[in-house]
Amino acid sequence: MISVAEALEDVLRLVSPLDVEEVPLRDAAGRVLARDVRALRTQPPFAASSMDGYALNRAEAEPDALFKVIGEAAAGHGFDGSVRAGQAVRIFTGAPVPDGADMVVIQEDVTRRGNLITLGHGIDQKDNIRPAGGDFSAGDPFTAPAVLRPSDVALLAAMNVDKVPVTHKPVVAILATGDELVQPGETPGPDQIIASNSYGLAAMCEETGAAVRLLPVARDNAASLTQAFTLARDTDLILTIGGASVGDHDLVGQVAGDLGLEQSFYKVAMRPGKPLMAGRLGDAAMIGLPGNPVSAMVCGAIFVTPVLRRMLGLEQLHTPTKTAVLADPLPANGPRAHYMRARLTDGQIRAATRQDSSLLTVLASANALLIRPPDDPARAKGDVVTYMAL
Amino acid sequence: MISVAEALEDVLRLVSPLDVEEVPLRDAAGRVLARDVRALRTQPPFAASSMDGYALNRAEAEPDALFKVIGEAAAGHGFDGSVRAGQAVRIFTGAPVPDGADMVVIQEDVTRRGNLITLGHGIDQKDNIRPAGGDFSAGDPFTAPAVLRPSDVALLAAMNVDKVPVTHKPVVAILATGDELVQPGETPGPDQIIASNSYGLAAMCEETGAAVRLLPVARDNAASLTQAFTLARDTDLILTIGGASVGDHDLVGQVAGDLGLEQSFYKVAMRPGKPLMAGRLGDAAMIGLPGNPVSAMVCGAIFVTPVLRRMLGLEQLHTPTKTAVLADPLPANGPRAHYMRARLTDGQIRAATRQDSSLLTVLASANALLIRPPDDPARAKGDVVTYMAL
């Protein structure tokens, strides 16, 4: 058996960042910026008023000073002339500040009669002007890699970057195996159950930024498995579920080996999820996940998500861990790292009583995986432990 | 001016949960479960082996005991007969445990010669059987409302729920207004800038679960605005950006009023984002956001996201706030709540030096909004403050 860290390093070595494609800005949110882009514009492109008021010369801004309003500057429509002594220009938020003016007196500080304004006594000393380039200048970089958030999209828009270079979405084939499985919506026989892991893993991969191809369930025979692998040949990552243990009916490793899989490892010192394999199969990476529902989902979070992040070209590959205070004592852990289904409430974490790897109800009601290192001693209530948010 | 809490309450009153639609399970991730569903299956549907080994009668499981292997039970293919005294059935993980057996001895504890097995000396006392219904029983509820995560999708699959009742996605029309705006990819005139807020807000709304219709930019005249509102009439929520201030060029309130907007309020005691309006316009709710880029995005996070969550039928409407330790002192706050762009690193939070509401670079590099209540006194380094993650 190898450690989780060794296994993860091994799996990550199977993949590298995918190619770049350009997408319209409207479709860029949630995608990974693949290379630096540069602002095509300076923002603001001109000194702009930050308030509604009157643009004038600061040296003349005395209490009771009188100005003649010689024109108007609105957002999108600047004033063409210059502001000279004793003159002011009516100005609105976002409008270019006219030549000769270096201050905007807000309209609340002004009394206007016809084309004349008189300043009040308590004028704010702020100039209410946003200097040209105050936000960014043409050529300023937006640095890759980055998962593009809504505020990034707004910034790229302001930079006039309307085509965004992003990493291709990894195409993931998900292949559940087993004679006991039928698809949701079908009527299972007396010895059968519903294929659930493939749907959960598909959602997890899509959430991480992949495009998923859900393959038909493969039967427990070499012909069915071989056919399924053929359907997955042109993908970036093949995830198999089940059939990776040591039982006589676990054919996945054998069939994948016949098809040329260079298998990287087999057993990981972790609970849930001990049996795992990984390798390259043709142009795709392959990860063989255990068949128990919770094992499959936990191994997905621990191994598959970082692999997808590397394919996406991200630097932060691992799901970050945090610490919380233990709400109940825990017995000593065995020789395998244990990812316990747990609930975090107000900084206190409590492991679920039932940790069997078949219990999807327990996983669905968990919001964290409490991480026990191998041979972790017994822990008391109040101890600080590590977890990963779900 | 009214407080943020009052404004939010007011805005939330404008909307109610939308209708329910059924989607295939494959498309349910990230959607909001709209009503309780019930498991159509018991899981496991039968007592199932959790290991590869031999099923036999526990009373006979003594060191060196000898058994005749009378058949095999694999996942998907149970053993048809009963296990009697001196008999065992070869069994694989996930297979139904045959009648007459109440224990699975793992294969590592057994020596097999032909059809005979002999038990070893250190047999584990665990029965390695998952009882029928150990995870859930037919009729058990999956409770709404809930944003469906990958593990929920896996559980619904196991329950054989292949059509999922979810809340309709709110359809949001986003309408940026202003003669100064051109779309990304266009060439702005000398007094113009790129419409950026609409793209950022679209991404934010989609992230929250809405479907967005990005309308063409409306010009600063009544005809253009009226036409734009007409294009938005059949949506659930209309977001206008800009034109909601008090300047002569801010026509949105006037035009919306002419079209029947019952305006709920106008100014909120917050920075950034003071000017804001809201009301019902025909069958849609309308929120008028300020035009400054950062104001629009912050008001989106504070007001629009909770409104969408209510439309989606969720109970948790507000973005949760947390606390962190201040890394730098802060001066006293004024009479308006201040949502400061800030960076959180290792539990320490630091407000950006420049808080002008036009600076998208500052917003994009922030990962939190540090929340100052109205008239909050000066804060020292080390003080605990409240923030909202971005």
* Longest CA span, chain B: 96
Burial class from Cβ neighbours inside 10 Å (0-12, 13-18, 19+) for residue B143 reads exposed
| The pLDDT value given to residue B264 | 73
User: Alpha-carbon distance A212 to A176, whole Å?
Assistant: 13
Residues of A within 8 A of B30 (CB-CB) are: 203, 207
* Interface contact B98, partner A, CB < 8 A: no
Minimal CA separation from B75 to chain A, in Å:
5
Q: Which residue has the tokens 């950034």?
A: B272
User: Alpha-carbon distance B211 to A23, whole Å?
Assistant: 19
Give the mean pLDDT of chain B: 93
| The pLDDT value given to residue A49 | 94
| The pLDDT value given to residue B245 | 55
User: Alpha-carbon distance B28 to B136, whole Å?
Assistant: 21
Contact in structure between A257 and B60 (CB atoms under 8 Å): no
Residue A143: closest C-alpha in chain B: B365
Residues of A within 8 A of B300 (CB-CB) are: 150
Q: Considering only CA atoms, which of A302, A390, A385, A298 is closest in space to residue A349?
A: A385
Q: Considering only CA atoms, which of B186, B365, B230 is closest in space to residue A136?
A: B365
Structurally, at CATH architecture level, domain B20-43+134-166 sits in Alpha-Beta Complex (3.90)
* Longest CA span, chain A: 96
Q: Considering only CA atoms, which of A299, A302, A303 is closest in space to residue A285?
A: A303
Q: Residue A248: is its pLDDT beyond 60?
A: no
Segment 121-150 of chain A within 8 Å of chain B by CB: 130, 134-136, 140, 148-150
The interface predicted TM-score (ipTM) is 0.93
Distances from the Cα of A129 to the Cα of A40, A52, A132, B247, angstroms:
23, 11, 9, 17
Residue A359: closest C-alpha in chain B: B135
Q: Considering only CA atoms, which of B84, B53, B49, B51 is closest in space to residue B70?
A: B84
| The pLDDT value given to residue A305 | 97
* Interface contact B169, partner A, CB < 8 A: no
- What's the length of chain B? 390
- H-helix or E-strand spanning residue A311: helix A305-311
- Cβ contact A155–B360 (<8 Å): yes
Task: Write phi, then psi, for A154 (nearest 5 degrees).
Answer: -60, -45
Amino acid identity at B79: F
Q: Considering only CA atoms, which of A214, A294, A264 is closest in space to residue B24?
A: A214
Q: What is the DSSP string of B111-168?
A: EEETTEEEE-SS--S---EEPTTSSB-TT-EEPSSEEPPHHHHHHHHHTT--EEEEEP
Q: Residue B172: is its pLDDT beyond 70?
A: yes
Classify A381 in phi/psi space as left (phi over 0), alpha (psi -120 to 50) or beta.
beta
pLDDT band of A226, cuts 50, 70, 90: very high
| The pLDDT value given to residue B130 | 95
Residue intervals of chain A classified under CATH 3.90.105.10 are 20-42+135-167
Residue B156: closest C-alpha in chain A: A196
- Cβ contact B29–A214 (<8 Å): no
| The pLDDT value given to residue B163 | 97
| The pLDDT value given to residue A244 | 56
Matching CATH number, B321-389, of 2.40.340.10, 3.40.50.300, 3.20.20.190, 3.40.80.10: 2.40.340.10
Structure tokens at A35: 């290379």
Segment 310-369 of chain B within 8 Å of chain A by CB: 356, 358-361, 363-364, 366
With respect to CATH, is domain B48-130 assigned 3.40.1710.10?
A: no
User: Alpha-carbon distance B240 to B286, whole Å?
Assistant: 8
Matching CATH number, A4-16+168-311, of 3.40.980.10, 2.70.98.90, 3.40.50.10490, 3.20.20.10: 3.40.980.10
Other beta carbons within 10 angstroms of residue B50's beta carbon come to 21
Q: Is B226 helix (H, G, I), strand (E, B) or coil?
A: helix
Minimal CA separation from A157 to chain B, in Å:
5
The b/e string for B201-211 (b: 16+ C-beta within 10 A; e otherwise) is: bbbbbbebbbe
With respect to CATH, is domain B4-17+168-311 assigned 3.40.980.10?
A: yes
Task: Write phi, then psi, for B58 (nearest 5 degrees).
Answer: -60, -35
First-residue to last-residue Cα distance in chain A: 26
Minimal CA separation from A387 to chain B, in Å:
15
* Interface contact B40, partner A, CB < 8 A: no
Minimal CA separation from B357 to chain A, in Å:
9
Give the mean pLDDT of chain A: 93
Nearest beta carbon to residue B154 from set A52, A197, A249: A197
Q: Residue B253: is its pLDDT beyond 90?
A: no
Q: What is the pLDDT of residues B301-329, one digit of tens each?
A: 999 999 999 999 999 998 889 999 999 99
Q: Is A41 helix (H, G, I), strand (E, B) or coil?
A: coil
- H-helix or E-strand spanning residue B369: strand B368-372
* Interface contact A98, partner B, CB < 8 A: no
The b/e string for A110-136 (b: 16+ C-beta within 10 A; e otherwise) is: beeeeeebebeeebeeebbbbebbbbb
Contact in structure between A117 and A66 (CB atoms under 8 Å): yes
User: Alpha-carbon distance A229 to A241, whole Å?
Assistant: 13
pLDDT band of B263, cuts 50, 70, 90: confident
pLDDT band of B287, cuts 50, 70, 90: very high
Residue intervals of chain A classified under CATH 3.40.980.10 are 4-16+168-311
Other beta carbons within 10 angstroms of residue A42's beta carbon come to 17
Say which residues have a Cβ less than 8 Å from residue A5's Cβ, sequence separation at least 6.
none
Minimal CA separation from A243 to chain B, in Å:
10
- Cβ contact A160–B29 (<8 Å): no
- H-helix or E-strand spanning residue B310: helix B305-311
| The pLDDT value given to residue A321 | 93
Residue intervals of chain B classified under CATH 2.40.340.10 are 321-389
Distances from the Cα of A159 to the Cα of A34, A154, B45, angstroms:
17, 9, 58
Q: What is the pLDDT of residues B78-117, one digit of tens each?
A: 999 999 999 999 999 889 999 999 999 999 999 999 999 9
Residues of A within 8 A of B207 (CB-CB) are: 29-30, 150
| The pLDDT value given to residue A251 | 82
Residues of A within 8 A of B163 (CB-CB) are: 185
Q: Which of B177, B194, B359 to mutate to test the interface with A (most CBs of A within 10 A)?
A: B194
Q: What is the pLDDT of residues A250-309, one digit of tens each?
A: 688 888 888 988 877 677 899 998 778 889 998 999 999 988 899 999 999 999 999 999
- Cβ contact A196–B155 (<8 Å): yes
Segment 181-220 of chain B within 8 Å of chain A by CB: 181, 183-185, 188-204, 206-207, 214, 220
Q: What is the pLDDT of residues A308-358, one digit of tens each?
A: 999 999 999 988 899 999 999 999 999 999 999 999 998 899 999 999 989
- What's the length of chain A? 390
Minimal CA separation from B59 to chain A, in Å:
25
Measured N-to-C along each axis, helices A197-208 and B150-158 cross at an angle, to the nearest 10 degrees, of 160
Residue intervals of chain B classified under CATH 3.90.105.10 are 20-43+134-166
* Interface contact A172, partner B, CB < 8 A: no
Residues of A within 8 A of B321 (CB-CB) are: none
Minimal CA separation from B355 to chain A, in Å:
11
A123 HSE (CA, 13 A, CB side): 26
Residues of B within 8 A of A249 (CB-CB) are: 74-75, 92
Task: Just give the CATH number of A20-42+135-167.
Answer: 3.90.105.10
Residues of A within 8 A of B201 (CB-CB) are: 150, 154
Q: Considering only CA atoms, which of B187, B246, B182, B189 is closest in space to residue B216?
A: B182
- Cβ contact B154–A363 (<8 Å): yes
Q: Helices (H) and strands (E) in chain A — how many of each?
A: 8, 28
| The pLDDT value given to residue A125 | 84
* Stronger pLDDT, A247 or B213, i.e. the higher one: B213
Amino acid identity at A353: T
Residue intervals of chain B classified under CATH 3.40.980.10 are 4-17+168-311
pLDDT band of B183, cuts 50, 70, 90: very high
* Stronger pLDDT, B27 or B267, i.e. the higher one: B27
Strands B48-49 and B181-182: unpaired
